[in-house]
Amino acid sequence: MRYLKINIISLIAILIYSCNPQENQTSQFTFNAEKEKPEINIMLDSFNQAAADANFDLYFSFYTDDAIFTGTDATERWDKEEFMVWAKPIFERGRAWNFTALERHINFDSTGNIAWFDELLNTQMKICRGSGVLIKQGDQWKVKQYILSATIPNPIMDDVVKMKASAEDSLINKIVKTK
């Protein structure tokens, strides 16, 4: 009977300890965002530099195999292979696009294996916003999704909407008809 009480008390202690999520997370999870952020900054800067240098192979090595790229035009949504086909002639000219980060924000999921970012970029289109999702593959961060957006200052938004209305109205009608 004495051993039964000891076993029950031991079992209760094990259950209480194993149900304490804060204790478990601390001991099992050692993700360090402050270590990863500089690595991601270097990767994203190198990614942008590869495009500026028209280094096709290096630029596309930063993407996962199943990556998606979304450009500034409403028709620009490509998987990696489609984007490579579209971009190849541009890179073959010896210059692609030259984006330089003005500011960047990086966030992580609780595992430390997924990060998302948004950045303001100095480009040939003036300020654009790049945003995306990064996946850690082994010890490297890769772009899973990238979205490039042109920024429009609020005071001129009405004028810009008027300028693009005819081109985008036909696209809106086409998309609505296919739903």
Shared-domain flag, residues 73 and 38 = yes
Shared-domain flag, residues 40 and 66 = yes
55 is a domain residue? yes
- Give the model confidence (pLDDT) of 1-42 as tens digits: 555 455 555 544 444 445 544 444 443 556 889 999 999 999
56 is a domain residue? yes
Q: What is the pLDDT of residue 25?
A: 44
- Give the model confidence (pLDDT) of 136-149 as tens digits: 999 999 999 999 99
**Average pLDDT taken over every residue of the chain:** 89
pLDDT category of residue 179 using cuts at 50, 70 and 90? confident
Place of tokens 């000891």: 6
Count of domains forming the chain? 2
Shared-domain flag, residues 53 and 108 = yes
* Token pair of 29 as six digits: 């999870």
For 127, the domain range is 33-151
Taking residues 90-109, what's their average pLDDT?
97
Shared-domain flag, residues 69 and 118 = yes
Q: pTM for the full model? A: 0.81
140 is a domain residue? yes
Shared-domain flag, residues 53 and 120 = yes
For residues 72 and 168, give the distance between their C-alpha atoms in angstroms, rounded to a whole number. Answer: 13
Shared-domain flag, residues 93 and 121 = yes
* Token pair of 115 as six digits: 């990060």
For residues 142 and 171, give the distance between their C-alpha atoms in angstroms, rounded to a whole number. Answer: 32
Could you tell me which residues come within 8 angstroms of residue 151 by beta carbon, excluding any fewer than 6 positions away? 120, 126, 127, 128, 129
Shared-domain flag, residues 22 and 95 = no
Shared-domain flag, residues 75 and 121 = yes
User: What are the strands, taking DSSP E only, across the chain?
Assistant: 63-70, 77-79, 100-108, 114-123, 126-137, 140-150
63 is a domain residue? yes
